[in-house]
Amino acid sequence: MVAIFVQFADPALRQRLFDGMWRTLQPGGLLCVQGYTPKQLDYRTGGPGRLDHLYTPELLRSLLPEAEWLVLREHEATLQEGAGHAGRSALIDAVARKPR
């Protein structure tokens, strides 16, 4: 399952979305997430522009406390994904495995 830039969700909706995605995964299944980190507010090259909609490793760990984290890293990259997402960006990539 993949969740890319689902930062339209406020914290309550985000919790429901992640709970639902996790619930639907089979044991051993993977959830891949990419989103913006709070540093994205400095770049202003895309994203919701709201701190409570951005991801940190700690937030993802709290959303998926049972996950085995295969990847959980913050990094920066230059995106060219249309007018709404162009330029230097502060990103987080994550791959969580549901235990068997």
* Residues 12-69 pLDDT 10s: 999 999 999 999 999 999 999 999 999 999 999 988 899 999 999 999 999 999 999 9
Amino acid at 32: C
**Given pLDDT bands bounded at 50, 70 and 90, which one contains residue 83?**
confident
pLDDT of 86: 80
Residue 77's closest CA among 68, 67, 86, 69?
86
Q: Which pLDDT belongs to residue 39?
A: 97
Tell me: pLDDT of 72 over 80.
yes
- Among 55, 63, 64, 62, residue whose Cα is nearest residue 98: 64
Give the Cα separation of 26 and 90 in Å (integer).
31
pLDDT of residue 5: 82
